[in-house]
Every structure is written in structure tokens, then in C-alpha cells.
Amino acid sequence: MKSLQGKTIIVTGGSRGIGKGIALRFGEAGLNVLVVSRNQADADKIAAEIGETASGFSADVGTEEGCKAMVEAAVLRYGGVDVLCANAGIFPAAKLGEMTPADFDHVITTNLRSTFLSVSAVLPAMTTAGSGRIILTSSITGPITGYPGWSHYGASKAGQLGFMRTAAIELAPKKITINAVMPGNIMTEGLEGTGPEYIAAMEASIPLRRLGTPADIANAVLFFASEEAAYITGQTLVIDGGQILPE
């Protein structure tokens, strides 16, 4: 692939898990990386691992001011934004009957409203540049499968894809592409909270018999950001070890 050296990426949720894997991979590829999470110290720690081409930024991507501030920081520090990876997300479990409207709203705000807000915030910089790459972290849960306790999560992840398909058409004249990765079960700090039984059940249900790694997802995100992916927009890529295929 042609080098992306010197370009700039914002990775939301870059302080842990999949986002951390993406931030590290783009750092290796020579991009300036703005690592975003709500916790400044955590974001700074990953930026320090990458080196002087990276920096941390604290923002809540569920808020308009947070998204605007992170883009302003990237433009100020690095002169623009070439790639946005809208990856931040949460997956607290609550079954129907127990889930409150506040639980539902919190997940939709963090996972879906943030997609709209971060894409809207980055548009002026990408429009000025005359190009841009946006990659969303969706999921197989919601768009393809379901899992007990995650009806709000599934709605948010399916909603991201509905948003993306119209955004792809609207942004194409500006030479901005938008695509989504759909991870299966990826071993991250977030997933550790689901407990050993969930993880063992998942491993048994995956044809490749292992959970994915953040690097598995980061490599696909890097492809969507590459020059070679210039003609791909509005598309999804499932990265799940074959989990959604019937055995």
C-alpha cells in the first residue's frame, strides 16, 4: 500500500481495546495520531507509546462540544484531519424489562449520536482538504446477530450503518469516503467484563476458534484509510473469524 506517512488520524476510544490497536497501527504507519477518550491520562499513555507523532485528548464524543474540540485540537496540532476513526463505544448489558430509558439513551448517545457528531465536526476540515476517510466501528451484533442484554447496543450499531449509507452518498462529491468495520468478538478490556463463560462460549462458536485481536480490526481500518481504497464507500467489512457463517 502507498504510504500514509505524515497524514493525520483521530481515533475516538483510542485509549483501550480496539481503538488502542488502531491508534498503535496508524502510529506505526507514520501518521500523526490524536488519541481520544474521556480520560486524558489514559489517552496520553497510548500517545506516549506511539511517540512524538501522537498526542492524547480528552473529550466525550456523545457531546457536540467534545467532538468539535477534538477536531480543533487535531487541526491546531497537525494542520488538518485526513482520517477519522469513530470507534468509541460502550456495551453495558440490560435485558428488556430491566433496561430504563436512561440506559437506552446513554448507549445510543455514546455509540450512535457520537457517530453523527464526530462526522459533522470533521466535515469542515475534510471539505477544505478536498478529501477524507471516515471509518466507523460498528459490530456484527445488531446489524446481523443479536445477544441478550444488548438491544440498545444492537440498535446503535445497526443505526451507524443506516447513517453511513446516506452519508456516503452525500459526502462522495467532496471526495470523502465512509465505511464501517463490523467486528465479531474481539478480546479487549471491555469484553473481559462479560466474564469467562461468555468468552468460552464465543470461542466455541467461532470457526477459527479464537477471539479476534485489536490488530485484526486495525489492519482492516488501515486498508479503508489507504489510497488503494479510494473507490470504496458506504461499505461494511465483517471481521469475525467466520462467526456469522453456519457451521
The residues that touch ligand NDP, with contacts defined as CB under 6 A, are 12-13, 15-19, 36-39, 42, 60-62, 87-91, 110, 137, 139, 183, 185-186, 188-191
Shorter beta-carbon distance to ligand NDP: residue 75 or 108: 108
78 catalytic? Reply is no
Report in angstroms how near the CB of residue 69 gets to ligand NDP at its nearest: 11
Residue of 78, 147, 153, 198 with catalytic role: 153
Shorter beta-carbon distance to ligand NDP: residue 82 or 240: 240
d(CA 97, CA 211): 30
Report in angstroms how near the CB of residue 24 gets to ligand NDP at its nearest: 13
d(CA 155, CA 183): 16
Q: Please enumerate, as own/partner, the contacts of 112-117 that have beta carbons within 8 Å and a separation of 24 or more.
A: 112/155, 112/156, 112/159, 112/160, 112/163, 113/62, 114/12, 114/61, 114/62, 114/67, 114/86, 114/88, 115/86, 115/159, 115/160, 115/163, 116/163, 117/61, 117/62, 117/63, 117/64, 117/66, 117/67
Residue in this structure with the C-alpha cell 464465543, named with its chain if needed: 202
**Residue 177: all three cell numbers together:** 469516503
Shorter beta-carbon distance to ligand NDP: residue 4 or 202: 202
Report in angstroms how near the CB of residue 142 gets to ligand NDP at its nearest: 9
Shorter beta-carbon distance to ligand NDP: residue 44 or 82: 44
**Residue 181: all three cell numbers together:** 468495520
139: helix, strand or coil: coil
Shorter beta-carbon distance to ligand NDP: residue 102 or 130: 102
Beta bridge partners of 176: 132
Beta strand spans in the chain (E)? 8-12, 32-37, 54-58, 83-86, 132-137, 176-183, 236-239
Q: List CB contacts of 246: < 8 A, sequence separation 6 or more.
A: none
Report in angstroms how near the CB of residue 150 gets to ligand NDP at its nearest: 10
Give Cα 38 to chain centroid, integer Å: 15
Report in angstroms how near the CB of residue 122 gets to ligand NDP at its nearest: 15
Shorter beta-carbon distance to ligand NDP: residue 129 or 199: 199
Where in the sequence numbering do the catalytic residues fall? 153
